[in-house]
Each structure stands twice: as C-alpha cells, then as structure tokens.
Amino acid sequence: MASVVPPSSLPLRAKLWRYVSYGWLLERPSQELFSAYAARRSNRERLARWLPHYLRVYAVWAALAALARSTAQALDVDAVTQVLCSFSLCAAGLVGVSTGCAYLALRLGERFRLYD
C-alpha cells in the first residue's frame, strides 16, 4: 500500500510533487496472485478518484503557460523566454492529453467490465 504520510509533515518539494504528479498514488503489485490483483484494483480505484483532479491541474498549467506565452509575445520579450513558455505549454498539453486518455481508458474499462 502507498505510504500514508500526513501532508503537514512533508517538505514543500514533496507537496509540489504530489500536487503535480499522480505516480505516488500507485501501489506496486507483488508476486503473489491475490495481492497483485488487489493492488491493481486499488490502483484503478485511486486513479478513477484522482485523475479528474490532475486533469484540472494540467488544464490550469496549460492556461497559465498560454497566458505567459501570449504575454511574452505581446511584450516582445527575448526569444529564450518565449521558447520556454512554448515548451511549458507543450509539456502541459502532452501530459494533459495522456492523463485524459488514461482516465478515458479507466472509465471505458469500467463501463464494459474489462477489469473483472
């Protein structure tokens, strides 16, 4: 099971990592058949619960990156800043799309009972 640590005792870096990435939610399946099945089921339930939150996080990230990019372009800021803003926008878009696909796969799998 994923370690349960009170958020107040975590350093800021760990809090930011948990806010931006959902990999910390997942349990690693063991070699034993029934516990591996239970870990996979728990992972699916956690992801189904938390992926909408992370989709909103990535949407806000993309919106802020797009705002920064358009502001940098309007103010005629140097090319390096514009490239960094564009890179951040592309990264937010790619992560958001892949997370959306994962969420869609989870929901369709539940709908068509692919996990039973």
pLDDT tens digits, one per residue of 24-38: 888 887 788 888 888
SS3 category, 2: coil
pLDDT given at position 97? 95
* pLDDT bucket at 4, cuts 50 / 70 / 90: low
Beta strands, E only, 18-107:
none
Note the pLDDT of residue 2: 52
65 in any annotated domain: yes
Token digits of residue 34: 């029934």
Does 1 map to a domain? no
In a domain, 116, yes or no: no
Q: Which residue has the tokens 């806010």?
A: 19
Q: Residue 102: is it exposed, middle or buried by C-beta count within 10 angstroms (0-12/13-18/19+)?
A: middle
Res 1 pLDDT > 60 = no
Tokens of 74: 């309007």
Residue 69 CA: distances (Å) to CA of 55, 65, 80: 21, 6, 11
Handedness of CA 48, 49, 52, 54 (dihedral sign): negative
Position 26 in a domain: yes
Q: For 47-105, what is each residue's pLDDT tens digit?
A: 999 999 999 999 999 999 999 999 999 999 999 999 999 999 999 999 999 999 999 99
Summarize the confidence of residues 14-31 as an average pLDDT: 85
57 within some domain? yes
Range of the domain at 83: 7-111
**Do 14 and 3 form a contact (C-beta atoms < 8 A)?**
no
State the DSSP code for 76.
T
Count: domains in the chain:
1
Query: Would you say residue 2 lies in a domain?
Result: no
